[in-house]
Copies of this chain bind each other. A is one copy, B any other.
Amino acid sequence: MDELLRPLGLTTPQYNVLSAIEHTPGISNASLARGVFVTAQSMVGLVINLERTGLIHRTDDPSHGRVKRAELTREGATVLAKAHVLLADVDKRMMSGFSQNERDDLQRSLRTCVRNLGDPSV
C-alpha cells in the first residue's frame, strides 16, 4: 500500500483516514482516532497534514461547540478515488485464480478472525 500510494502523495494511514471520512462525512477527530486505534493526539497530526495538503477541510459542529467535523474536499475525493482504483488492482491480482467459493470462504474466515480479536463492527 505504501508503494502504491506514494505516487499519489498519500501514506497508508492517510488513506485510512480519508476512507473513514468518505464513509462518515462530518466525523469528529475523536471518532477518527477510535476507528483506526490511535490516540486523539496522534490523529491531530494526521488531520493537520491532510488539511495542509488540501485533501480535507474541517468546520465547527454547530450543535457541539468543541467538535470539528471533517469532510473531503473536491480534491480529496478525487485523490481517494484514484487510490481506491490502484488498490483494487492489487486486490484483483492477489485474488487471481480463486473461485467464488474460495473468495467467500476466505472473506468469512477473516471476518471471524477480526471478530475473535474483539472488533464487533465487522
Interface residues, chain A, with chain B CB atoms under 8 Å away: 90, 93-98, 102, 105-106, 109-110, 112-113, 116-117
CB pair B106–A94 under 8 Å, yes or no, is no
- Nearest B residue to A106 via CB reads B109
CA distance A110 to B95 in the complex (A): 10
10 residue pairs A–B, Cβ–Cβ below 8 Å: A93-B116, A93-B117, A94-B116, A95-B113, A95-B116, A96-B116, A97-B112, A97-B116, A105-B105, A106-B110
- Nearest B residue to A109 via CB reads B106
Which residues of B lie under 8 Å from residue A106 when comparing CB positions?
A: 106, 109-110
- Shortest beta-carbon distance, A41 to chain B, in Å? 16
- Shortest beta-carbon distance, A39 to chain B, in Å? 12
Which residues of B lie under 8 Å from residue A93 when comparing CB positions?
A: 116-117
* A-B complex: 9 closest residue pairs judged by Cβ atoms: A106-B109, A94-B113, A94-B116, A94-B117, A96-B116, A93-B116, A105-B105, A102-B109, A93-B117
